[in-house]
Structure 1
Amino acid sequence: MTAGVDTPDRRGRTGLDRHGRDLNGNARVRIRDVELLSSDWYVLRETTFDYRHADGRWSREQRETYDRGDGATLLLYNEHRRTVLLTRQFRLPAYVNGHPDGMLLETAAGLLDDDDPETAVRREAAEETGHAIGAVRHVFDVYMSPGSVTERLHFFAAPYEDALDDRPHGNAAEGEDITTVELPFAEALAMIRTGAIADAKTVMLLQWAALEGPFAA
């Protein structure tokens, strides 16, 4: 008996090895097997499939996919003051892969869980910044690391007016310790060039804001 397959894992899930077995949208791909490797919190699978190459040749391939669910992220901006509101928190994966202290500047973000993207991004903005936001603008949806991670991230932007809330934020039960950082937009863009802002979703939203968003010329 395997947790997550025959018996519930610690999140109560079973049948996790069946995900993706019935895909039929691409005639060049034939799913042969899906094996559950881990379901400690998120889900790691190994999928075996046949793939028909452009020259007609078929090959047997195996790929691991990491399924952490889809997410949503939000750029908070003040057009009048020309500022953006970001978060700062510790990220262990960045720390072990060369970031000096693992404290990343980011746009507010989180997993959808059982919510739709807009509901989720409102929840995360309140949880991580203390701000209840008004109207939001959907910007785009992106697969962030399609070679191995299934996550699709939904990008939003919204104005903020309130003063900076410098209290710690985040979900304490999940070990989050998040502070907010208000920056002039021009300074935030310059921090991309220097590497002081190195989070992909944040870079993408800042560049969107400069090219066609609230700070477009």
Structure 2
Amino acid sequence: MHQYDRCDVNLHEQRCRYQGFFRIDEYVVSHQLFNGGESKVLSREIFERGDAVAVIPFDPQNNSIVVVEQFRAGVLRSAENPWLIEFIAGMFGQDEAPEQVAVREAKEEANLNLSPEQLIHLTSYFSSPGGTSEQIHLFAAPINSENLGGVYGLDDEGEDIKVHVLTLTDALALVNDGTINNAMTIIGIQWLALNAQQLVNHWNINDLN
């Protein structure tokens, strides 16, 4: 499918332009052109925020998922509601495996006790590769969603996170009407709508209701 790969990029220089909690690097590159030859030397600033893990807690008996709601400052530039409905997610700590991130974040954000052995990797994708290097690793885990709810999060990180249980039908409706409007959650819900039976088979659970 692809005409070129990483070998067809010439990285002339990479330099840090900002270092705070996150980092901005400048990449000075040239690359092969589809019609032949090489591009001019390009300068591209890339937001280096690290990679993240998201997890879909899925209840196959009730065809339901657990999502969380929290304030997101990145929405303030728009006229949209800055309280977003999302899947549980978090960034890597030092020397953490993706499954460890999923288990840790599920406990911190929703008081869920997940088993690393039951996690299944669904996909990995770049969230916005034109401007950031961030890659999202999406997992699913089986749960019993009955009697779940509450408000969680870490006080020292300023987290105030409310837990919701949604049927997959209701979640899809919220995607369609624009209430759920962040890429990670849209991708996860649509993946689940297409492939839920794969998870049931993987976990050796009775068929979906």
* TM-score class normalised by the smaller sequence: 0.7 to 0.9
Higher relative contact order (CA closer than 8 Å, sequence separation 6+): 2
1:75-132 per-residue CA deviation (whole Å, 9 max, x = no partner) reads 1111111211100000111232231x30000000000122110111111111100010
Tell which deviates more after alignment, 156-165 or 83-92: 156-165
Q: Give distance in 1, aligned partners of 2:143 and 2:107.
A: 12
Compared with structure 1, are the counterparts of its residues 82 and 57 closer, same or farther at alpha carbon in structure 2 (3 Å cutoff)? closer
Number of residue-to-residue matches in the alignment = 192
Tell which deviates more after alignment, 187-196 or 76-85: 76-85
SS in structure 2 at match of 1:126: helix
Q: Give distance in 2, aligned partners of 1:199 and 1:118.
A: 22
Aligned CA-pair RMSD: 1.9
Contact map agreement 1:66 1:149 (CA 8 A) in 2: yes
Residue 79 (1) aligns with residue 60 (2): yes
1:43 alignment partner AA: R
Q: State the identity %.
A: 26
Q: Give distance in 1, aligned partners of 2:40 and 2:119.
A: 46
Q: Which residue of 2 aligns with 1:104?
A: 84
Q: Which residue of 2 aligns with 1:210?
A: 193
1:95 aligned residue (66, 76, 81): 76
Q: Which residue of 1 aligns with 2:17?
A: 37
Contact map agreement 1:85 1:180 (CA 8 A) in 2: yes
**In proportion to residue count, which structure has more helix?**
2
Report the TM-score, using the length of structure 2 for normalisation.
0.85
Contact map agreement 2:64 2:145 (CA 8 A) in 1: no
Q: Give distance in 2, aligned partners of 1:150 and 1:161.
A: 35
SS in structure 1 at match of 2:151: coil
Compared with structure 1, are the counterparts of its residues 164 and 184 closer, same or farther at alpha carbon in structure 2 (3 Å cutoff)? same
- Unaligned segments of structure 1, at least 5 residues: 1-24
2:58 alignment partner AA: Y
Report the TM-score, using the length of structure 1 for normalisation.
0.82
